[in-house]
Amino acid sequence: MKLRILAVIACATLFIACSNEKKANSEKIVNVYSARHYDTDDALYSEFTEKTGIKVNLIEGGSDELIERVKSEGINSPADVLITVDAGRLWRAEEADILQPVDSEILSERIPSSFRHPEGLWMGLSKRVRGIVVNPETVENYEELTYEDLADPRFEGRVCVRSSNNIYNQSLVASMVETKGVEATEEWAEGLVSNFARSPQGGDRDQIRGVATGVCDVAISNHYYLAIMITGDDEADQEAASKVKFVFPNQGEDGRGAHVNISGAGILKNAPNKEHAVLFLEYLTTTDAQQYFTAGNNEYPINEETELPEVLTNFGEFESDAVNVSALGKNNPEAIQLMDRAGWQ
């Protein structure tokens, strides 16, 4: 009798365990590891849940931190999607072998091929132009500027830029390596370094402020930093922004176009909810979702059907560099080495 009772209890326990496992497997969730930290992204995820019933479990951290976390978790990782900024960091995730290819006609239709990994390992969600900020009172014909011009002797002591440790600068140099080769790019970097108005320091907004206050006449910066200064509540930043202009370099018939980087995402190799992850990425490329990227951080939408906010419209139209952003990661090691050889601290 006692053995029979124990058998019944064991069967009941097994039934409950199986029921719980089935319930857990049927739960509609997507686990997102994100290196983006914007309030509008939270609203974006909430809207996805409202539309699909799929709950977004969010873990935030630095890009390298999240990549290492996924590696250490191995096959037991709960992560479905990795979101980060800069193609160079997506390349690091690719090199860590933690991503899997995604085959989606929707994503292929909405995301231009130059902003997708050739094998579908990751794709862009928004675009970030690394252009030139100028003092229009002191720089002649600034609308015609190229990246190459910044190494010209006429800009000696007139250029502000942040450290070579910055991934945005590394990716800019990596794109030049792809189109110009190592030797020509290193020669350019040496000329750029000789034109520094000060030692590299601070972030992009510090370079913009440097131009506004006369420390330098030109600076390299991502477009959205200036857009944030224009639209923000800080009066000092608004005043500084009013004194400068943003230039899309290398335009015109013979220009290769402005360097464009991305924030992007990939699906993890051991994603337990791949179907939901694909739906999540497809949602992020809808025009409704893309509005959050443009409104929240003034990034250019990857889906070109999306309406732009006024501040970006005022920057004007531009042509992008046609280099596939996967080259930014592939050429990253070479870019870092040549920047070091050129004395770019």
When pLDDT is cut at 50, 70 and 90, the band that residue 192 belongs to is very high
Q: What is the pLDDT of residue 39?
A: 72
Whose tokens are 């034109």? That residue is 195
CA distances to 29, 33, 146 from 53, in Å: 8, 19, 48
Q: Name the CA dihedral angle for 74, 75, 78, 79, rounded to a multiple of 10 degrees.
A: 60
More confident site: 295 or 135:
135
When pLDDT is cut at 50, 70 and 90, the band that residue 5 belongs to is very low
Is the distance from CB of 326 to CB of 117 less than 8 angstroms? Answer: yes
Model confidence, pTM: 0.87
Three-state secondary structure call for residue 247: strand
Q: What is the mean pLDDT of residues 60-77?
A: 95
Q: What is the pLDDT of residue 187?
A: 98
> Which pLDDT tens digit goes with each residue over 253-284?
889 999 999 999 999 999 999 999 999 999 99
Q: What is the pLDDT of residue 296?
A: 81
Report the share of the chain in percent with pLDDT over 90: 86
**Which of the residue ranges 88-92, 156-160, 217-221, 223-227 would you say has the lowest mean pLDDT?**
88-92
Q: What is the pLDDT of residue 205?
A: 98
Is the distance from CB of 323 to CB of 179 less than 8 angstroms? Answer: yes
pLDDT of 166 over the 80 cut: yes
Spell out the domains of the chain, with CATH numbers in brackets: 28-127+262-308 (3.40.190.10), 129-258+325-341 (3.40.190.10)
3-state helix, strand, coil in the chain (%, to 5): 50, 15, 30
**Tokens, residue 30:** 């997507």
pLDDT of 184 over the 50 cut: yes
Name the average pLDDT for the chain.
91
When pLDDT is cut at 50, 70 and 90, the band that residue 36 belongs to is confident
Q: Number of helices and strands (H, E) in the chain? A: 15, 10
Q: What is the mean pLDDT of residues 279-297?
A: 93
Q: In a 10 Å sphere around its CB, with 0-12 CB exposed, 13-18 middle and 19+ buried, how is residue 314 labelled?
A: exposed
Q: What is the mean pLDDT of residues 227-238?
A: 96
Q: What is the pLDDT of residue 26?
A: 60
**Which of the residue ranges 43-47, 167-171, 193-197, 286-290 would you say has the lowest mean pLDDT?**
43-47
pLDDT of 157 over the 80 cut: yes
**Residue 37: closest CA among 79, 78, 85, 69:** 85
Q: What is the pLDDT of residue 344?
A: 97
Is the distance from CB of 259 to CB of 129 less than 8 angstroms? Answer: yes
When pLDDT is cut at 50, 70 and 90, the band that residue 16 belongs to is very low
pLDDT of 1 over the 80 cut: no
When pLDDT is cut at 50, 70 and 90, the band that residue 13 belongs to is very low
